[in-house]
Chains A and B, each alone.
Chain A
Amino acid sequence: GENVEQHPSTLSVQEGDSAVIKCTYSDSASNYFPWYKQELGKGPQLIIDIRSNVGEKKDQRIAVTLNKTAKHFSLHITETQPEDSAVYFCAAFTQGGSEKLVFGKGTKLTVNP
Chain B
Amino acid sequence: NAGVMQNPRHLVRRRGQEARLRCSPMKGHSHVYWYRQLPEEGLKFMVYLQKENIIDESGMPKERFSAEFPKEGPSILRIQQVVRGDSAAYFCASSPPSGNGYTFGSGTRLTVV
Do A and B assemble together?
no
B contact set with A: CB distance below 8 Å:
none
